[in-house]
Amino acid sequence: MSHSPLHISCQEVVELVTDYVEQALPADQASVFEQHLNFCDGCVLYVDQVRKTIDVVGELRAEDVPEETKAKLMSAFRDWKRG
Amino acid sequence: MKAYKFLRPQGTGVFTGYGWPLPAAGPGEWVSADLDPCHSGIHACAVYHLPLWLGRILYEIELDGEIVDDAMKLVASRGRLVRRVDRWDEQAYAEYTRMCADRAHELAQEHGLEGWDAVIEPSVPEGGALLGFIAARIAEEIDGEDGYHRERATQTDWLADRLQLSS
């Protein structure tokens, strides 16, 4: 969180955005978060994009993912876990 | 309780998108909501909250039921829009933005913080909410949280006087 309780930076918006859209921020943090959105159009766009992404991903079912894509993802995860 | 609320031009909530019943011949219909600050409830401003939530369209709102007043906003379980604050028009908005920009320059130059000058004028097209924040942020750099709050109080006084608002 910010060094100041009065405001947050764009970087902090990026860090807190998931908690914000899931309404998991405490009220005081949500308040300074929204104050930032009130004057920062760039962060408003960013939050909108995150919301839309969550909406789209939330509607996606496992069976909607093509087998080929599933195989590529599983391979990527295995490589990532190997380090 | 008399309070104020900024809405988007279509009469919708800034953060929720909720379509408010607008006043016509009389006040708009009452709206009720569970009270959970920042998550649910009727969010509004006392006069001293206005600079924090500055927007383009301002309404007077009547709050009722349970009402919470925290440092940044009012939250109530019931509210209805009473009238649009017509004095808050494009001209007043531009004057407020200019006042905040001038205050920001003044503070920066008085305290050897001219680096801020490169930020102030390019921010003017973004409007009064940003310029108000910048002026308060410079005041905070000079005098900590007290400076920030003093600058916000200066902005509140300007709005209350220009729009003839009372709590």
ipTM, interface predicted TM-score of the complex: 0.90
B120 exposure class (CB count in 10 Å sphere: 0-12, 13-18, 19+): buried
Is the confidence at residue A1, as pLDDT, over 50?
A: no
One domain, residues B95 and B115: yes
pLDDT tens across B13-66, in order? 999 999 999 999 999 999 999 988 767 899 999 999 999 999 999 999 999 999
The whole-number average pLDDT for the span B10-15 is 93
pLDDT level of residue A81 (50, 70, 90 thresholds) = low
Last residue of a domain, one of B58, B84, B110: B84
With CB atoms and an 8 Å threshold, state whether B130 touches A7. no
Q: Is pLDDT larger for residue B133 or for residue B167?
A: B133
Q: Which 8-state DSSP code applies to residue B85?
A: -
Which positions in chain B touch A30 (Cβ < 8 Å)?
Answer: 38-39
One domain, residues B117 and B45: no
Q: What is the DSSP string of B9-75?
A: TTSBBTTT--BPPPPSSSPPPPEE---BTTTBSEEEB-GGGGGGG--SEEEEEEEEEEEEE-SS-EE
> Among B86, B6, B46, which Cα is nearest to A34's?
B6
pLDDT tens across B106-162, in order? 999 999 998 999 999 999 999 999 999 999 999 999 999 999 999 999 999 999 999
pLDDT, residue A2, reads 47
pLDDT level of residue B6 (50, 70, 90 thresholds) = very high
A79 exposure class (CB count in 10 Å sphere: 0-12, 13-18, 19+): exposed
Domain count, chain B: 2
pLDDT, residue A3, reads 67
Provide the whole-model pTM: 0.86
The Cα of A35 is separated from the nearest Cα of chain B by a number of Å equal to: 6
Query: How far is it, in rounded angstroms, from Cα A67 to Cα B71?
Result: 53
With CB atoms and an 8 Å threshold, state whether B39 touches A23. yes
One domain, residues B13 and B78: yes
For residue B8, the tally of other CB atoms under 10 A from its CB is 15
- Contact of A4 with chain B, judged by CB distance below 8 Å, is answered with yes
- Contact of A37 with chain B, judged by CB distance below 8 Å, is answered with yes
How large is the angle between the packed helices A27-39 and A10-21, nearest 10 degrees? 120
Query: How far is it, in rounded angstroms, from Cα B76 to Cα B67?
Result: 4
The SS3 call for residue A48 is: helix
One domain, residues B51 and B116: no
For residue B84, the tally of other CB atoms under 10 A from its CB is 15
One domain, residues B33 and B80: yes
pLDDT, residue B7, reads 97
Residue of A nearest to B74 (CA): A31
pLDDT tens across A18-77, in order? 999 998 999 889 999 999 999 999 999 999 999 998 888 876 677 777 788 778 877 877
Query: How far is it, in rounded angstroms, from Cα B98 to Cα B54?
Result: 14
pLDDT, residue B93, reads 97
Domain hosting residue B105, numbered range:
90-163
pLDDT level of residue A83 (50, 70, 90 thresholds) = low
pLDDT, residue A55, reads 84
Last residue of a domain, one of B32, B51, B84: B84
